[in-house]
Chains A and B, each alone.
Chain A
């Protein structure tokens, strides 16, 4: 069964450093997403991406965050200057269509900011 893969599984970084979280969505999917989940809290939508541009973003997704599809397979989330409160699980997801379809989620990257 096709799956979304994320690397690394765990990343520890110092406050103020830049981090890049990587995702390989399912190959024929056109829509890509990032979500995060702070420990013990809800899964929160961050951003959706289609046709090489952001289609929707949440209030959480401020100027510190950016997304990119640098080549035909990877989809990345960059946090420019990490804060302690950025510590969370980050999930990448992808879907084939926008409506009447399912989103496939990766296993997540645990980001710890120290």
Chain B
């Protein structure tokens, strides 16, 4: 079973920032935090990952709490194309990603 907990759904307005939370209550010291998303009728798509420090890439930012028990995926300006299910996953390796039910993000125009 998935080790993380996320809200079932969130809503955002287009061109506004979105903060997607995740709890990592059982994360260990060597576990990375990964975020993937799944657009409708597509395969999962990598978004971002990190270990301890906050991370930025062209898609999003990842804020990791100091105790690493929570993380937040930040989409700086949501677009309609960002409507998807977002999954946070923690684990020691990429070879076995355990997906939960994720957060369904709806973006309103």
Interface residues of chain B: helix, strand, loop or mixed (majority): loop
Question: In the complex, what residue of chain A is closest to B100 when comparing beta carbons?
Answer: A42
Chain B contacts for A43, CB-based, 8 A: 38, 44, 87, 97, 99
Give the interface size bracket for B toward A: 20 to 34
Interface contact tally, CB-CB below 8 A: 63
Confirm or deny: A25 has a beta carbon within 8 angstroms of a beta carbon on chain B.
no
Shortest CB–CB separation between residue A29 and chain B, in angstroms? 11
Q: Bound complex: CA of A99 vs CA of B90, how far in Å? A: 12
Chain A contacts for B46, CB-based, 8 A: 102-104
Give the interface size bracket for A toward B: 20 to 34
Q: Bound complex: CA of A105 vs CA of B49, how far in Å? A: 16
Confirm or deny: A60 has a beta carbon within 8 angstroms of a beta carbon on chain B.
no
Chain B contacts for A95, CB-based, 8 A: 94-95
Confirm or deny: A64 has a beta carbon within 8 angstroms of a beta carbon on chain B.
no
Confirm or deny: B65 has a beta carbon within 8 angstroms of a beta carbon on chain A.
no
Is the beta-carbon distance between A107 and B99 smaller than 8 angstroms?
A: no
Q: Bound complex: CA of A113 vs CA of B51, how far in Å? A: 41
Give the interface centre of B38, B96, B101 by most chain A CB atoms within 10 Å.
B96
Interface string of B35-74 (1 = CB under 8 A from A): 0001000111110010100000000000000000000000
Chain A contacts for B17, CB-based, 8 A: none
Interface string of A62-99 (1 = CB under 8 A from B): 00000000000000000000000000010101010111
Q: A31-B94, A105-B43 are in contact. Are A100 and B51 (CB under 8 A)?
A: yes
Is the beta-carbon distance between B32 and A99 smaller than 8 angstroms?
A: yes
Contact among A55, A89, A100, A104 for B95, CB-based, below 8 A: A55
Q: Bound complex: CA of A35 vs CA of B38, how far in Å? A: 13
Q: List 6 A–B pairs whose Cβ atoms lie within 8 Å, in order of A's numbering.
A: A31-B95, A55-B95, A100-B49, A102-B46, A103-B94, A105-B44
**A interface residues with partner B (beta carbon < 8 Å):** 31, 33, 35, 42-45, 48, 50, 55-56, 58, 89, 91, 93, 95, 97-108
